[in-house]
Structure formats: C-alpha cells, structure tokens
Structure 1
Amino acid sequence: MSSWLTRIRKSIPFGRKRETADNLWVKCPNCSEMLFAKDYEENLFVCPRCEHHGRIGADTRLDQILDPGFQLLIEPQVVEDPLKFRDSKKYADRIKAARAKSPHDDAFQVAVGAIEGHKAVVGVQDFTFMGGSMGMAVGQAFVNGAQRALDEGCAYIVFTAAGGARMQEGILSLMQMPKATVMTRRLKEAGLPYIVVLTDPTTGGVTASYAMLGDIHIAEPGALIGFAGQRVIQDTIRESLPDGFQRAEYLQKHGMVDMVVDRHTLRATLARLLDYLQPAKAA
C-alpha cells in the first residue's frame, strides 16, 4: 500500500522537464570558462574569452562556409571491416557505435555549392567520427570530391581533422594516401585550385598526404598540426621542443602554413581567394 506522500506526489501535475545546466552551458576546453551554449554556437563555437576554436562537425562546417542551397554528395559504399579486425572490440561494433552518434556513415562529407557566389566543392573531415580517421570510405569520399571538382571545373576546398589512418583497416587505409595524392595532382594539371584548411587536430597519414599538398594552406588559430606526436619526437631526438611546436602559428612562422585565419573571417577569406584564382561567378 502506497504512503500518503506517494499519493500526493503522483497527484501533482508536473510540467515538462526543463533543460538542464548540461544543455544550457558549455565549458571551454582551453580556459574552462562556462559559456552559454546558444551564445557559443552563435559565435561559431569560438570562446569569446580566450578565442579557442572548438571542434565542429561536418554539417555545421558546411553551413558556416557555403551559400544556402548546397548539395551533399552521396557517401561512397565500400567494403566494411575488410580484415575482420578486432582489438578490445570488433571493428564492426566500433563503426556501428560511431554511426549511432552521427548523421553520416563515415568521417568525410563532400558538398557542391558556392562561397559568396564562387562555385566550389568542399570536403570536410569530421573528427567526431572515430577521430576523423582515414579509411577506405574517407579516401573514396575525398576522391569523389576531387572528381566532382574536375567535372565542375571549380576549386576543391578540404577541411582536415584527423588522428591519422584508421588502424582497423591496416594497409588498405594507408593506400588512401597515394590514392588521394594522385587526385591532387590531377587537379593541379587541370589548373583548378586545391585549398586546404587545417583544423584541430590534423595528424598522421592525413598530414603526410592530402593535407599538405594544397596550393594554399590555411589553418585555424591554435590548431594542432603534425605527423608524429610531440612525445614521440621528443623521445627520438632527445631534446625539448620549442613552445607552440606543431601549432598553427608556429607552422606559419616556419613556412608550412600560408595563413592563420580566425573562423569569423574564414568564409570571406576563402571567397577572396576564389576571386583571385577563379574569378568566374557561379551561375
């Protein structure tokens, strides 16, 4: 028999559950400032206090960069789990879990559209999907984007964000490096701009291939960009590394990056570059 307190509680008409603090506030990973989530989103996921550029997904990035009305390319279908790989979990289960958290099937999305009227094909690597790791699906999506740029006769802009090659696909993931490199060469031979925007983090096999083969390299402020990790390099050369090593500003100073551009001016910067490199406006 229920107590009088239980009966009274059940008789009270509670309204819908209010949003929790977890939904309303975001903690900056750099300065730990608590930010109102809506304001953070309206500021393009850049902390207004320390200007840390937060990581964003592919759909958000495309919405920020492209004019309204862009078209997503169909994601390529590749052989899944070709090696029947298993470590602490089955690779098939890891993919399934990643897809449950994402609107897409893998870590690289391509869209055809325009940036302030300049036609462009834009590819975005999504770090939230298995660390943006480069497997067969990512490699094929990159190739499809490059081919579409060749067909359209326009620039190919790629936003990189990856922990490197996808270990669960072994040598097949590493083969995406020369595969993507061939397509960047085809773009060059066709006289079409290939622009790379390096975002946090861009590492491993992605850095060793298409991330560093652009005609122009742009980086977001503070982005980590490199091949091997700092600890590995430090242990190998047995020397301390300089402050800011492998960060966007350090790489710009040493000639590996052409410019470091704040997210608020990135779209306008890309439009200006396209105006220089392919002046014709999109129909």
Structure 2
Amino acid sequence: MNWINSVVRPKLQSFLNKRESPENLWIKCPETGEMVFHRDLEANQWVVPTSGHHMRISARQRLEYFFDEGTFETHPTPEVVTDPLKFRDERRYVDRLRDAKAKTGMEDAVLVASGAVKGDPFTVAVQDFSFMGGSLGMAAGEAIITGLNIARANSTPFVLFAASGGARMQEGILSLMQMPRTTVAIQQLQEAGLPYIVVLTNPTTGGVTASYAMLGDIHISEPGALIGFAGPRVIEQTIREKLPEGFQRAEFLQEHGMVDLVVHRHELAETIARICSVLMKRPAPGVAAPVKTPAADADGAGNAPPKADATEAPRT
C-alpha cells in the first residue's frame, strides 16, 4: 500500500495532468504546411526560413524592423467622430472599434512615426491589417495626412506601408472622402520635392489601392503580396474567365509594370534608404561625402590661385 501511494499514484497523476504545449508554439507555413518554431520566425522577422513566405506583422513590429536599432517616435493624430452614421449590422460599430483597439493597442488602423533609417531621417505610416482589416476610415485618413504634413514640415521622405481590405463600410461616404483628401496631401509633398515611397504588403486591395497606395514615386512590394482593387474570385465571376497563374501577386505585377521592385523584408530598409538618397541627391548610406579640395593653379602645383588685391586696378 505504501508503494502504491508513493510511486504509482504520483506517476498516474503526472500523466493525467500533463501540460499541453501552447497552441502558438509552432506556426504552420501557409505555402508549404511546414511547422516552424515561433522563436525562429520571430528572429527572422516573421519570414519562414525555408519557403520565404512573409507572414503578416503588426504596425509596431514593422516600425521596429525598419528604423535603426528599432528606435522611433510615434506621432499623435487628430481625433475624429467615433460613429458618425450610428452604424449597426450584426454588432454596433462602436463595439467593433472597442474590440479592435483592445486587440491591437492602437487607436485606429494607421500608426505614424519618425526616426532614422541608415542614419537619415524618415517619416513613416504603417497600416495594421489586424485593426478591422486595415480598412480606411476617417481616423486612418487623418493619420496618413498628418504623416504627410510632418514629412513636408521636416523635409523628410515619406514611406507608407500599405495593408488593407479597402474602405471602411461602417463610415460610408465619409470613408470614400479620404481618397481625394490623401491624394491632395501627396501632391503637396511631391510639389515640395520630397520622395513618397509605397511598400505594398499582403494584402493591399480596394479603395486604398485605388488611391494613395498607387501614387508613390516608387512602388515596392514584399514577395507574394496580394495587390489589386477587387479580389481574384470577384474578377473571375465578373469576366467569366480563368485568371493567369499568380494573378495580382507581387511578382506578376512587377512583370507587368504595376510594381517597380519586389524586395525581401530583410532588405527593405537598406533599399528604401538608397532610393531616397538618389531622389534627394545626397550620399548613399554608408558612403562618405566627397571632400572638396582647393582648385589647382595653372602650373598644376595644387595650390589655390592668389586672391586679387582689392586695391589693384583692373587690367585692360
């Protein structure tokens, strides 16, 4: 009896009370089905090492990966009316907003920040797909316009990371009005001679694609990103034809001239910094500016020519 109590019973209890592994310990690659340890994914900026599939990341993660040493300053954006149309479908719009804020820790779908990228100042706006599908509403529109104005005031390039399912239906026409408003702010930035770089991430669709996401000086995309106005299934049902393989994916759009570059997440910061250095006519990151030397004199000795005496009469 003593042996049963001291040995058998504890082993049975430990077997029955065995702790299960957390559900998020291993993550399945959407392309290959491979199970990847979550710490390996996090260390690789949420890019699957074997397949190269780019997982979705939050706005703050995006900023940490993009800015030097993950250091940046976020900017407050103007407050807007929370529920202008008193919208309700299966749930009230205000309840959906409250849940999205609790889930992401953000006030809305767009986060604006500034910091250094390869030593140069940048202003950045990031759409977070986790916040109601990154949908464009009044608050998101105000955030993007605020970011554009900050870039213009500080004479910095403006980089937009787009990720959206389109306009926010709960705000109706007020959401669609953000398309021309952001377009005007982009024109003002470009008139000031400042670069506007758009990074298209998975997915970028709807009214965002039909407005500010396609008005950049350079359009960059992450590999495999879905980009388009309407989804492939809707297009197939409309035209009643089978779409080409890879239709609306980043690589397909690059071949057809809609996207300029497809860049791996690890190389985004360096690529964008290099592009902006060219557009702003400044030395490339990591390259020292050329040192100006005095002009050589006529005999080639390298000495600067003597300054003319102000009292000397001009020669005729």
Give the secondary structure class of the aligned counterpart of 1:101: helix
Partner of 1:89: 91
Q: Which amino acid aligns with 2:256?
A: H
Q: Is the CA contact (8 Å cut-off) linking 1:136 and 1:176 kept in structure 2?
A: yes
Q: Is the CA contact (8 Å cut-off) linking 1:118 and 1:274 kept in structure 2?
A: no
Q: Which amino acid aligns with 1:56?
A: I
Q: Deviations over 1:168-224 (max 9, x none)?
A: 000000000000100111111110000000000000000000000000000000000
Distance 1:126 1:25, change over 3 A: same
Shift of 1:154: 0.9
Give the secondary structure class of the aligned counterpart of 1:160: strand
Structure 1 stretches of 4+ with a deviation exceeding 3 A read none
Report how many aligned residue pairs link the two structures: 271
State yes or no: 1:167 paired with 2:157.
no
Q: Superposition RMSD on alpha carbons, in Å?
A: 2.0
State yes or no: 1:230 paired with 2:256.
no
Moved more, 77-86 or 268-277: 268-277
Which protein shows a greater Rg?
Answer: 2
Give the secondary structure class of the aligned counterpart of 1:161: strand
Partner of 1:37: 38
In structure 1, stretches of 5+ residues that fail to align are: none
CA distance in 2, matches of 1:96, 1:211: 27
For residues 32-181 of structure 1, the aligned pairs below 5 Å read 32-68=33-69, 69-181=71-183
Give the secondary structure class of the aligned counterpart of 1:235: helix
CA distance in 1, matches of 2:42, 2:88: 38
Q: Which amino acid aligns with 2:275?
A: L
Q: Which amino acid aligns with 2:208?
A: V
CA distance in 2, matches of 1:87, 1:121: 37
CA distance in 1, matches of 2:181, 2:21: 47
Q: Which amino acid aligns with 2:148?
A: A
Q: Is the CA contact (8 Å cut-off) linking 1:119 and 1:281 kept in structure 2?
A: no
CA distance in 2, matches of 1:21, 1:32: 19
Q: Deviations over 1:236-257 (max 9, x none)?
A: 2221110110000010000000
Identify the match of residue 223 of structure 2 among 221, 226, 229.
Answer: 221
CA distance in 2, matches of 1:35, 1:199: 22
Moved more, 172-181 or 61-70: 61-70
Quote the sequence identity (%).
58
TM-score by length of 1: 0.91
Q: Which amino acid aligns with 1:107?
A: A
Q: Is the CA contact (8 Å cut-off) linking 2:29 and 2:35 kept in structure 1?
A: yes
CA distance in 2, matches of 1:231, 1:90: 29
Distance 1:280 1:70, change over 3 A: farther
Shift of 1:281: 9.1
State yes or no: 1:198 paired with 2:185.
no
Q: Is the CA contact (8 Å cut-off) linking 2:278 and 2:284 kept in structure 1?
A: no
Q: Deviations over 1:138-163 (max 9, x none)?
A: 00000000000000001000000000
Higher relative CO (Cα under 8 Å, sequence separation at least 6) belongs to: 1
CA distance in 2, matches of 1:261, 1:90: 40
Partner of 2:295: none
Shift of 1:33: 1.0
Distance 1:190 1:19, change over 3 A: farther
CA distance in 2, matches of 1:210, 1:23: 35
Q: Which amino acid aligns with 2:57?
A: I
CA distance in 1, matches of 2:119, 2:199: 19
Partner of 2:312: none
Q: Is the CA contact (8 Å cut-off) linking 2:205 and 2:228 kept in structure 1?
A: yes
